[in-house]
Homo-oligomer: A and B are copies of this chain.
Amino acid sequence: MKTQILKKKIVKIFHKYGLSKNHSSISADALINAELVGAYGHGLSRLKMYCDRISKNVINSKAKIKIKKISQSITHVDGNNSIGFVAADTAIKIAINNAKKTGIGLVAVKNSGHYGLSGYYAEQAVKKKLMVMVFTNAPPAVAPHGALKSLFGTNPICFGTPTGSKIPFILDTSISMINRGKIRVAAREGGKIPEGVALDKFGKPTTDPKKALEGVQLPIAGFRGSGLAWMVDILSGVFTGGNHAGRVKDPFTDFSGPQNIGHLFFAMKPNLFVGNNFNKRIKDNIKKIKKLPKIKGVKEILYPGQNKFNRYKNNLKKEIKISKNILNDLNILLK
């Protein structure tokens, strides 16, 4: 389906469910971007879920987002249980403005929901020639180090910076060893999962996907990844006024209330300390690393975001492929 046509359909659906034209458009753009960068788990596969949550009043379709200015650099956003895209879009734009004015912009968000990809918001700041860090928490997926129950979300750490070239440096890394979706696929197909990514319900390492689904997923790098996930939960939850400590609801299965996810956006002018040399410095950094001798079979050392940018560029030329299931969702939601 052509991107323009798909966007019109999604906007029509969200508007039908009660979102304003503007909020519908912001949400449609975020979903389509996820498809274009190949992050299908954050794209159209979630459309029905968002509509279900609106229907059941756990996403507020008429959200009035409250903006509390704390200083020229610092702002607190209350999402009023809006769809996550809209609260996050509001917040990153404020972070960008604050940083343009004062050099740094710190914006915390509470009462938000799942907002898709952190990298999508980081990219907005980088396009405005800023460096940026983005943190969000998420429903329980990963067990803290030593625990036999999931509590941390996949809690991504996201960092973006201009590179002096068209392709931004966007690191957007989950702290989970494996995506739950991948374990489900392995279970269905009778395959195995890699060592060290999950424990069974007794806390023993397992490569059996069925046992892993009954057990817990592990954070990257043991106690180190567990600590990073905990940091993200504090920065995006405890600090912002959002839910934390495992209280963010699963958007697909738990309709007992809003998610109240928290996000934290921190934007900085890259030239604060090195002035106009920043571009030269970052180009030199990337060039030097790319020139290193490579492991056999590796053609190029890629910086974070390069792959995603290339997928986006390629996909932009084509129509968006839509599976039968999702086409079915679209048609039902449009009725």
- Please report A residues at the B interface, Cβ cutoff 8 Å: 70-71, 73-74, 76, 102-104, 106, 108, 110, 131, 143-149, 151, 157, 159, 161, 169, 171, 173-174, 177, 199, 202-203, 220-221, 223-225, 227-228, 230-231, 233-235, 237-241, 244-246, 266, 268, 270, 272-274, 278, 281-282, 284-285, 288-289, 292-296, 298, 300-304
Q: A221-B225, A228-B171 are in contact. Are A146 and B282 (CB under 8 A)?
A: no
Select one of B147, B231, B303 contacting A301, CB under 8 A: B147
Q: Which of B103, B110, B230 contacts A171 (CB 8 A)?
A: B230
Q: How far, in angstroms, from A298 to B239 measured CA to CA in the complex?
A: 29
Decide: A70 near B272, CB < 8 A? Known: A144-B289, A230-B303, A289-B245. Answer: yes
> A202 with B296: in contact, given A238-B278, A238-B282, A302-B146 (CB under 8 Å)?
yes
Residues on B with C-beta less than 8 A from A237 are 285
Q: Closest CB-CB distance, A65 to chain B, in whole Å?
A: 15
A270 to B108, CA, bound (A): 12
Q: Give complex CA distance A228, B174 in Å.
A: 11
In the complex, the answer to whether B238 meets A292 with C-beta atoms within 8 Å is: no
Inter-chain CA distance A293–B202, complex, in Å, is 11
**The 5 residue pairs across chains A and B that have the minimum distance between CB atoms:** A203-B295, A220-B221, A245-B288, A147-B292, A146-B298
Distance of A205 from chain B, by nearest CB (Å): 10
Give 16 new A-B contacts, CB below 8 A, not counting A106-B268, A173-B227, A220-B225.
A73-B73, A73-B102, A74-B103, A145-B301, A146-B298, A147-B289, A147-B301, A148-B293, A151-B292, A230-B303, A238-B278, A238-B281, A238-B282, A239-B272, A239-B273, A240-B274
Closest to A220 in B: B221
Task: Please indicate the chain B residues that have their CB under 8 angstroms from the CB of A235 in the complex.
Answer: 131, 159
Contacts of A292 in B (CB 8 A): 143-144, 147-149, 151
Q: Is A103 a contact partner of B228 (Cβ separation < 8 A)?
A: no
Query: Which of B230, B270, B281 is A244 in contact with, Cβ under 8 Å?
Result: B281
Interchain CB contact under 8 A, B73 and A294:
no
CB distance from A103 to the nearest CB of B (A): 5
Ordered by A's residue number, 19 sampled pairs between the chains whose C-beta atoms are within 8 Å are A73-B102, A106-B268, A131-B235, A143-B292, A147-B294, A148-B292, A151-B289, A157-B228, A159-B235, A177-B221, A199-B295, A220-B224, A230-B289, A230-B304, A234-B282, A238-B285, A239-B278, A244-B281, A246-B288
Are B73 and A274 in contact, with the CB atoms below 8 A? no
Are A231 and B148 within 8 A (Cβ)?
no
A71, A110, A143, A146 pick with most chain B CB within 10 angstroms: A146
Closest to A106 in B: B104
Contact partner, A241, options B106, B146, B274, Cβ 8 Å: B274
> What distance in Å separates the Cβ of A199 from its nearest Cβ neighbour in chain B?
7
List, in ascending order, chain B residues with CB within 8 A of A278's CB: 238-239
**Chain B contacts for A171, CB-based, 8 A:** 227-228, 230-231
